């Protein structure tokens, strides 16, 4: 046997076996390692998955909590809004009911007064008839009443009526202390328009003829501004001349103003837009059915028909706030207003946020204290400001406002006289007539004469000198009452040719009852019986009819009635018209005069026919005799011989 070879074979087999064992052991170890690694990985994946799911769950729970919180906040906000709306509605209903009750009370009181007055007159007439009958029966001669001293009876002593604020309470609110400062504005740094270096001024007016070409070009330029892109609009150099510009260093602000849509017309904001500055407005809660717009500028008169221009012909702008947002630029600048063009059926207070304008002085009667007003005047850099009363808003240059010694007293005086005009026309019984105050604005140049009526009524700057100095309280202002009287003027005192005559009824009541003058000192003097003697002698001695007479003579017809019958008689006549108005377009002029004559007869309990015939008014003999059952009335026994007799 070959033993060594066998040993080598065994050794080789053993080595292979051990190698296989080792290989098996390594394989098992590697398998076990892979198994553990895979197990660890699966565990890690599971842990990550669990952690991710936990995070997702927490995120879902947080989102759900946030959703629930938002829904709760929305519900709470809607509930608050609902409660606020309900409260506002209830308050509005309560206010409406209060106003209706107040109006009904006033009407009831008026009816009771009229009934008492009627009974009083009937009682006096009854006693007079009984006394005459007794004297006739007893053949007792009637004792002549002595004539008063002089040739003319003394005037009726008019008693001042109890005047209240005859207007819907305005709930506008301007909280100036909440203004947010924005930018500093100065004229020198403002971008100016090119090609506008020449323009009409007070000292160098443009006149048709030699300046017609450039007048037409300037007018077209002004009208282009209203449709131009905002980026193209810059400050017009003419603005510094008129209406003026804010002082250098003026602070523009963001201001929120609350507007009462129950009040129509312009609502003052106490802001002034610098020339060329962009003004942005955001409206919140504005009534959808109302026509709301934003206006820059109060000098609305266009000079395009005038033969002479002393300023740029058109300087105001107005933009509708259709979607609740307005951006506008007026190259001329001006006071900023929110205009309620058409009052909604259910008006409410809405907010307007205005940015880019500078504060201007605004005195609100009943709200602004003297200290607040003094502070406004001291700090303002705007060129124009306003005095606001319930029935009138006056717009004046700041330089004039600073002169006023007692703005509260002046405002009360102006309000009293506006209330007198309302009173004599019976407007205090017609709240719808009083849904917004009238406006009076002074200008360098207006479209007609020295003053005219309208909204706003306008006049030249000198008209407010008496307001600035406070002298209006003692001296009155015939022209101002005249123009504001036109806004009151309506039937039954609007017969043909009476536009510039009967309107002075309003001037007379303001001068006599408001200012405290006597009839002799009204209209520059000479309106009383003595002062008009020469004019009346000339008229009654002639053949002119009433309509052919000068306006001053025609006016004295009404003055005689006011002098001898009192202003309340005119009010009672106006109330008769309000009760049973006639169609002003259909009734002839003669019928209107007859209506007035009959109305005065009913109010006085006297036959006014003889007086109207003596004055040669257009009334027929038949109409003049319609009240023949009443005792005839004339100012004096020898009327009109008291005027025609020799001195």
CA distance 534 to 553: 11
Query: How wide is the angle at C-alpha 525 spanned by C-alphas 519 and 529, nearest 5°?
Result: 50
* Residue 149's pLDDT band (cuts 50, 70, 90): very low
C-alpha to C-alpha distances, 146 to 314, 316, 364, 636, 637, nearest whole angstrom = 64, 64, 53, 12, 11
Residue 10: the pLDDT is 57
Checking if the pLDDT of 401 tops 50, the result is yes
The Cβ of residue 510 has, within 10 Å, a number of other Cβ atoms equal to: 28
Lowest mean pLDDT among 6-10, 298-302, 380-384, 588-592: 6-10
Selected residue with higher pLDDT from 32 and 503: 503
CA distance 521 to 500: 20
Query: Under a CB-based contact definition with an 8 Å cutoff, are residues 410 and 387 in contact?
Result: yes
* Residue 144's pLDDT band (cuts 50, 70, 90): very low
* Residue 148's pLDDT band (cuts 50, 70, 90): very low
Cis status of the peptide bond prior to 531, with omega within 30 of 0: no
Selected residue with higher pLDDT from 23 and 298: 298
pTM: 0.76
* Residue 548's pLDDT band (cuts 50, 70, 90): very high
CA distance 367 to 390: 11
* Residue 340's pLDDT band (cuts 50, 70, 90): very high
Query: Under a CB-based contact definition with an 8 Å cutoff, are residues 235 and 190 in contact?
Result: yes
CA distance 474 to 633: 35
Checking if the pLDDT of 17 tops 70, the result is yes
CA distance 379 to 374: 9
Phi, psi torsion values for 273, nearest 5 degrees: -85, 120
CA distance 536 to 533: 5
Bridge partners, residue 551, by sequence: none
Q: Please give the average per-residue pLDDT across 447-455, as a whole number.
A: 94
- Taking only the tens place, the pLDDT of each residue in 34-65 is 888 888 888 888 888 888 888 888 888 888 88
Residue 192: the pLDDT is 95
Cis status of the peptide bond prior to 60, with omega within 30 of 0: no
Residue 522: the pLDDT is 82
What tokens were used for 549?
A: 């007479």
Pairing of strands 362-364, 384-388: parallel
CA distance 283 to 259: 10
- Taking only the tens place, the pLDDT of each residue in 77-117 is 888 888 888 888 888 788 777 777 777 776 776 677 667 66
Percent of the chain residues topping a pLDDT of 70: 89
DSSP label at residue 635 = S
Across the chain, mean pLDDT equals: 88
* Residue 150's pLDDT band (cuts 50, 70, 90): very low
Query: How wide is the angle at C-alpha 185 spanned by C-alphas 181 and 191, nearest 5°?
Result: 140
- In 3-state terms the chain splits into helix, strand, coil percentages (rounded to 5) of 45, 15, 35
Q: Please give the average per-residue pLDDT across 172-193, as a whole number.
A: 94
Checking if the pLDDT of 21 tops 90, the result is no
Phi, psi torsion values for 441, nearest 5 degrees: -125, 135
CA distance 422 to 429: 9
* Residue 407's pLDDT band (cuts 50, 70, 90): very high
* Nearest one of 226, 389, 384, 396 to 295, comparing CA atoms: 226
Query: Under a CB-based contact definition with an 8 Å cutoff, are residues 531 and 559 in contact?
Result: no
Query: Under a CB-based contact definition with an 8 Å cutoff, are residues 181 and 356 in contact?
Result: no
**What's the alpha-carbon Rg for the chain, to the nearest Å?**
42
* Nearest one of 451, 491, 509, 474 to 582, comparing CA atoms: 491
Residues counted in the chain: 647
Residue 125: the pLDDT is 64
* Nearest one of 407, 399, 269, 243 to 338, comparing CA atoms: 269
The Cβ of residue 488 has, within 10 Å, a number of other Cβ atoms equal to: 21
Checking if the pLDDT of 403 tops 70, the result is yes
C-alpha to C-alpha distances, 209 to 222, 308, 626, nearest whole angstrom = 20, 10, 59
Lowest mean pLDDT among 271-285, 519-533, 610-624: 519-533
């Amino acid at each position: 046997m070959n033993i060594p070879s066998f040993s080598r074979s065994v050794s080789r087999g053993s080595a292979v076996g051990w190698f296989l064992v080792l290989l098996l052991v390594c394989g098992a170890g590697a398998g076990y390692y892979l198994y553990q690694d895979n197990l660890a990985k699966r565990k890690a994946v599971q842990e990550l998955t669990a952690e991710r799911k936990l995070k997702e769950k927490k995120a879902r729970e947080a989102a759900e909590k946030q959703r629930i919180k938002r829904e709760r906040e929305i519900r709470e906000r809607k509930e608050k809004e609902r409660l606020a709306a309900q409260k506002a509605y209830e308050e509005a209903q309560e206010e409406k009911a209060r106003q209706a009750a107040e109006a009904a009370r006033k009407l009831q009181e008026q009816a009771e007064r009229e009934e008492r007055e009627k009974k009083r007159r009937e009682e006096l007439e009854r006693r007079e008839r009984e006394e005459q009958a007794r004297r006739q029966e007893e053949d007792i001669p009637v004792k002549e009443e002595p004539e008063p001293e002089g040739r003319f009876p003394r005037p009726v002593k008019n008693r001042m009526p109890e005047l209240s604020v005859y207007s819907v309470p305005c709930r506008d609110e301007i909280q100036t202390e909440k203004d947010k400062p924005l930018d500093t504005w100065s004229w020198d740094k403002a971008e100016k328009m090119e090609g506008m270096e020449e323009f009409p001024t007070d000292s160098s007016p443009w006149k048709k003829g030699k300046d017609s070409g450039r007048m037409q070009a300037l007018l077209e330029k002004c009208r282009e501004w209203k449709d131009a892109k905002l980026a193209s609009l810059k400050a017009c150099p003419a603005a510094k001349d008129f209406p003026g510009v804010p002082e250098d260093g003026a602070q523009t602000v963001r201001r929120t103003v609350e507007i009462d849509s129950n009040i129509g017309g312009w609502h003052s904001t106490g802001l002034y837009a610098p020339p060329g500055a962009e003004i942005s407005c955001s409206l919140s809660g504005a009534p959808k059915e109302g026509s709301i717009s934003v206006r820059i500028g109060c000098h609305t008169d266009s000079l395009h028909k005038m033969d002479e221009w002393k300023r740029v012909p058109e300087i105001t702008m107005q933009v509708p706030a259709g979607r609740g947002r307005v951006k506008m630029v007026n190259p001329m600048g001006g006071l900023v207003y929110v205009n309620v063009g058409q009052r909604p059926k259910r008006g409410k207070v809405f907010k307007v946020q205005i940015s880019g304008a500078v504060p201007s002085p605004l005195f609100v009667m009943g709200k602004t204290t003297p200290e607040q007003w003094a502070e406004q005047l001291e700090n303002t850099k705007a060129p124009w400001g306003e005095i606001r009363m319930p029935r009138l808003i006056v717009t004046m240059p700041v330089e004039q406002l600073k002169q006023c010694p007692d703005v509260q007293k002046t405002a009360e005086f102006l309000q009293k006289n506006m209330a007198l005009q309302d009173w004599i026309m019976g407007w205090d019984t017609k709240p719808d007539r009083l849904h917004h105050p009238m406006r009076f604005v002074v200008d360098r140049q207006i479209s007609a004469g020295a003053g005219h009526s309208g909204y706003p009524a306008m006049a030249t700057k000198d008209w407010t000198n008496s307001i600035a100095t406070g002298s209006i309280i003692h001296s009155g202002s015939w022209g101002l009452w005249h123009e504001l009287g036109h806004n009151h003027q309506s039937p039954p005192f609007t017969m043909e040719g009476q536009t510039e005559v009967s309107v002075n009824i309003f001037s007379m009541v303001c001068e006599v009852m408001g200012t405290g003058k006597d009839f002799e000192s009204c209209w520059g003097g000479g309106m009383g019986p003595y002062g008009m003697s020469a004019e009346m002698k000339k008229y009654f001695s002639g053949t002119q009819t009433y309509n052919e007479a000068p306006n001053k003579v025609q006016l004295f017809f009404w003055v005689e009635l006011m002098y001898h019958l009192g202003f309340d008689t005119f009010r009672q006549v106006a109330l008769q018209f309000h009760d049973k108005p006639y169609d002003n377009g259909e009734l002839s002029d003669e019928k209107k005069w007859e209506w007035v004559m009959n109305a005065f007869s009913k109010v006085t309990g006297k036959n006014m026919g003889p007086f109207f015939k003596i004055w040669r008014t257009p009334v027929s003999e038949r109409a003049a005799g319609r009240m023949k059952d009443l005792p005839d009335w004339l100012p004096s026994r020898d009327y009109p011989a008291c005027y025609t007799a020799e001195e």
